[in-house]
Amino acid sequence: DQQVKQNSPSLSVQEGRISILNCDYTNSMFDYFLWYKKYPAEGPTFLISISSIKDKNEDGRFTVFLNKSAKHLSLHIVPSQPGDSAVYFCAAGDNYGQNFVFGPGTRLSVLP
């Protein structure tokens, strides 16, 4: 039973264009969400987070949008750069974040 889903295993985008990574969740108790980027043979690196009291959070080239009613969030990367090529994980936590549940990841390839 996957509580956090990332239905696109992979995504290819041209350099300079927008990358949109999607994430859906089923547990309505989740109220804090994080995105991580992971390169091969390295640990996940925190990118950006959003709490359920907001519908948007922005940090440089990264913006996360949250649609609570649809239980959907997305990560936008603009403009995409070749260094953004990695696996992106969405994670969700409830109340006091005792257990963050991760999605299966989306592999982003940014083509020069």
Partner 1 sequence: NAGVMQNPRHLVRRRGQEARLRCSPMKGHSHVYWYRQLPEEGLKFMVYLQKENIIDESGMPKERFSAEFPKEGPSILRIQQVVRGDSAAYFCASSPQNGFGNTIYFGEGSWLTVV
Chain positions contacting partner 1, by CB under 8 A: 31-32, 34, 36, 41-46, 49, 51, 89, 91, 95-105
Question: Min. distance of Cβ 49 from partner 1 in angstroms?
Answer: 6
Q: Closer to partner 1 by CB, 24 or 31: give it.
A: 31
Instruction: Check: CB of residue 93 under 8 Å from CB of residue 103.
Output: no
SS (H, E, C) 9-69: CEEEEECCCCEEEEEEECCCCEEEEEEEEECCCCCCEEEEEEECCCCEEEECCEEEEEECC
Q: Closer to partner 1 by CB, 18 or 29: give it.
A: 29
Question: Min. distance of Cβ 7 from partner 1 in angstroms?
Answer: 13
Q: For 46-53, which contacts have Cβ atoms below 8 Å and span 24 or more sequence positions?
A: 47/75, 47/88, 48/75
Q: Closer to partner 1 by CB, 45 or 81: give it.
A: 45
Question: Min. distance of Cβ 73 from partner 1 in angstroms?
Answer: 16
If you ran DSSP here, which 8-state letter would residue 27 be given? -
Q: Closer to partner 1 by CB, 79 or 107: give it.
A: 107
Question: Min. distance of Cβ 46 from partner 1 in angstroms?
Answer: 6
